[in-house]
């Protein structure tokens, strides 16, 4: 690899240690020191369920053991990351996922589109499928006194899978608890305050519905309110022809809802009874200890939760090939998952092991 580090030999017994770990009931993480691509080469095919990682960004920081990120040209940096990703593709099971948090870099005033250049190569050349581009909104950023650009407050987190037909995804594990319905003056009211009174009035006063459509809409509204009362639907919205804001395009060619509105005069938007799923914008404060254990770029534990909960099966194995102080491993440990962490810098691994030893499954 062409990065600015004298190549470190991986520990000689890596493949034996990995095989023993994967065959055991151990849940404390296994930490391996060395260059990510070289250590990964010792890990068997299809042995890991999820990779969650934040590689060094290009030209941002110099870590204790240097490593990737210090290349003088962009293409060498991308080539180094891509060879790690090719190994990740091999060690992941066909049901596996890769979650990649990677920031961009300015050169000669221009953003270099690093995450997108990498994503394009992963999809086009390595066969990954990009499922989501999550915007990590860091809520509070560092001051930026540049007079000719905005302050950066977000970073991408990319979710890629090996096989679009087989990847593991447990959406129920990441839903927020549904809001509770309440009874107000003898009437059931949904968590967001829908009692049906306004919709009923809207239907009764509608001049865009004929008599039969009005009767059908009122009947459907009653059935929906019963479903809310019985907990089959946690909440809903009703759109009635000719009134209010439609939530779709008006074109019946592109929207099934536009067609429903034309044919029946109304449609419902149902909330899932198990609660809403998270969006692709995550508001998570950055790690506030900017220099934890001598490391300057630890990411917050919350960044790892949705990825591990949604895409790692029970009893599965998580891997972070650039684990630093072991945040991914710590969250895996809390969730009762096995994990492997790789880093070039022995001092970070000491800190990571210390952090994880102090934590047990929750």
Binding site for ligand SAM (CB under 6 A): 35-36, 54, 56, 63, 65, 67-68, 295, 297-299, 322-325, 327, 342-345, 348
Q: Could you tell me the smallest distance in angstroms from the CB atom of residue 89 to ligand SAM?
A: 17
Residue ranges of alpha helices (H) inside 187-290 are 197-205, 211-229, 256-264
Q: Could you tell me the smallest distance in angstroms from the CB atom of residue 144 to ligand SAM?
A: 20
Q: Could you tell me the smallest distance in angstroms from the CB atom of residue 302 to ligand SAM?
A: 12
Residue ranges of alpha helices (H) inside the chain are 14-22, 36-40, 74-91, 114-126, 197-205, 211-229, 256-264, 302-311, 327-334, 346-357
Cα–Cα dist 135/123, whole Å: 19
Q: Could you tell me the smallest distance in angstroms from the CB atom of residue 209 to ligand SAM?
A: 56
Nearer to ligand SAM, 119 or 345 (CB): 345
Nearer to ligand SAM, 65 or 276 (CB): 65
* Residue 62 token pair: 């110099």
Nearer to ligand SAM, 228 or 335 (CB): 335
Cβ distance 63 to 56 under 8 Å? yes
> DSSP letters along 305-338, please?
HHHHHHHS-TT-EEEETT-TTTHHHHHHHHTT-E
Q: Could you tell me the smallest distance in angstroms from the CB atom of residue 71 to ligand SAM?
A: 11
Buried b (16+ CB within 10 A) or exposed e, 23-57: eeeebebbbbbbbbbbbbebbeeebbbbbbbbbbb
Q: Could you tell me the smallest distance in angstroms from the CB atom of residue 348 to ligand SAM?
A: 5
- CA 3 → CA 37, 88, 319, distances in Å? 12, 19, 22
């Amino acid at each position: 690899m062409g990065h600015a580090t004298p190549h470190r030999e991986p520990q000689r017994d890596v493949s034996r240690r990995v095989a023993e770990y994967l065959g055991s009931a151990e849940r404390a993480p296994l930490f391996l020191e060395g260059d990510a691509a070289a250590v990964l080469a010792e890990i068997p095919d299809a042995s890991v369920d999820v990779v969650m990682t934040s590689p060094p960004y290009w030209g941002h920081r110099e870590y204790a053991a240097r490593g990737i990120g210090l290349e003088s040209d962009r293409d060498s940096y991308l080539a180094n990351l891509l060879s790690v990703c090719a190994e990740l593709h091999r060690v992941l099971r066909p049901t596996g996922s890769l979650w990649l948090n990677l920031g961009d870099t300015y050169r000669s005033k221009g953003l270099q589109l690093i995450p997108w250049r990498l994503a394009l190569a992963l999809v086009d050349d390595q066969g990954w499928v990009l499922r989501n581009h999550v915007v990590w909104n860091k809520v509070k950023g560092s001051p930026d006194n540049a007079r000719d650009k905005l302050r950066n407050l977000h970073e991408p987190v990319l979710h890629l899978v090996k096989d679009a037909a087989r990847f593991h995804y447990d959406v129920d594990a990441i839903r927020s608890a549904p809001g509770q319905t309440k009874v107000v003056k003898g009437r059931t009211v949904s968590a967001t305050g829908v009692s049906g009174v306004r919709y009923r009035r809207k239907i009764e006063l509608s001049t865009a519905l004929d008599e039969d459509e009005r009767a059908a809409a009122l009947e459907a509204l009653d059935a929906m309110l019963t479903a809310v009362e019985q907990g089959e639907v946690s909440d809903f919205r009703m759109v009635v022809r000719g009134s209010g804001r439609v939530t779709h395009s008006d074109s019946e060619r592109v929207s099934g809802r536009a067609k429903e509105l034309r044919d029946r005069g109304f449609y419902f938007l149902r909330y899932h009874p198990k609660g809403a799923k998270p969006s692709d914008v995550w508001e998570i404060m950055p790690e506030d200890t900017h220099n934890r254990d001598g490391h300057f770029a630890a990411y917050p534990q919350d960044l790892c939760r949705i990825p591990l909960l949604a895409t790692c099966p029970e009893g599965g194995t998580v891997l972070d090939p650039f684990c630093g102080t072991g945040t991914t491993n710590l969250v895996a440990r809390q969730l009762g998952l096995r994990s492997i962490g790789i880093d070039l810098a022995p001092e970070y691994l000491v800190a990571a092991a210390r952090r994880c030893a102090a934590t047990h499954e929750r």
